[in-house]
Amino acid sequence: MLRVLERKHRDKPLFILGCGPSILNYDLERIKPFVTIGVNRAVKLIDPTYHIFIDRGMIPEVDVTKSAQIICAAQSLKKNPCPNAKHVAKKALTFYQSRSPAAKIHRKYEGLIYGNTSTHAGLHLAYIMHANPIIFLGVDLKHESDGRYYFYSDPVQQYGILSARNQRRLLKAPKEKPKVEVRHKGKKVVIRKENQRMIINLNRSCSIIKKASVQIYQCYKDSLLDEAVYKPFEEVMNEIEGGSNEAVH
């Protein structure tokens, strides 16, 4: 179903908004005139052009009355007991989580790596729509020194809930996911163990997309997204607000 979006924002700047703590560092009012993809709960901070997720636990929180085009994994809706699922299904464009969203559209996209995460699906979507440049905000991919991985700290929000039983369990004793230390730019950085492969694959996809003459930036200097060129938010905004790329939804 994503085929209808191919080339929709050709050569237009596009922001992918993650849920890392650094997302709170930016003036999101400035990006409202541009195309935006909100990943998971980034929609709590801005009403994006597109809202993308693969976690079925997001379904209860999706506000179908907002203007964002919902894009989600078909599996997140399948046999979902949440009453909101039927409303989301009416508005959403879906893709199959088990295969690259881009490769499903055309053979020319088959070289892309797919990491089976919402952020990675958002990157594929931006590439499908031929956006250029692609700018990541809040895609930190690591824990902060105070232990935060997301801009929010509520464990129920953090893990995504479908049942009251799970909600009670997580509120009582949130499960701590295994973490590992890796070296990044000469420093020790804490990440989730399960995220190591995701980080590698996301960087590989960025590398592949850049070979297609697409500029990819990220605005957080300590992000583990090394294949995206670091550029301060203010510089990015000055460039796209005063450059040849027009703001367009």
Instruction: Look up the domain containing 220 and give its range.
Output: 2-151+194-242
User: Chain-centre distance of CA 115, in angstroms?
Assistant: 12
Higher pLDDT, 32 or 145: 32
Q: What mean pLDDT is predicted for residues 137-141?
A: 91
With respect to residue 60, please indicate whether it lies within any of the assigned structural domains. Answer: yes
Q: What is the residue whose two structure tokens read 């450059």?
A: 243
| pLDDT surpassing 80 at residue 113 | no
With respect to residue 93, please indicate whether it lies within any of the assigned structural domains. Answer: yes
| pLDDT surpassing 80 at residue 131 | yes
In the prediction, which pLDDT does 135 show?
A: 98
With respect to residue 127, please indicate whether it lies within any of the assigned structural domains. Answer: yes
Higher pLDDT, 116 or 97: 116
Instruction: Give the span between the Cα atoms of 71 and 35, in whole angstroms.
Output: 15
With respect to residue 178, please indicate whether it lies within any of the assigned structural domains. Answer: no
Task: Give the domain CATH number at 97.
Answer: 3.90.1480.10
Instruction: Name residues whose C-beta falls within 8 Å of residue 231's C-beta, 6 or more positions apart in sequence.
Output: 217, 218, 219
With respect to residue 238, please indicate whether it lies within any of the assigned structural domains. Answer: yes
With respect to residue 222, please indicate whether it lies within any of the assigned structural domains. Answer: yes
With respect to residue 82, please indicate whether it lies within any of the assigned structural domains. Answer: yes
| pLDDT surpassing 50 at residue 155 | no
SS3 38: strand
The model carries a pTM of 0.84
In the prediction, which pLDDT does 175 show?
A: 58
Q: Are the beta carbons of 193 and 208 closer than 8 angstroms? A: no
In the prediction, which pLDDT does 161 show?
A: 44
The domain total for the chain is 1
Whether the link from the prior residue into 60 is cis, omega within 30° of 0, is no
Q: How far apart are the first and last CA of the chain?
A: 20
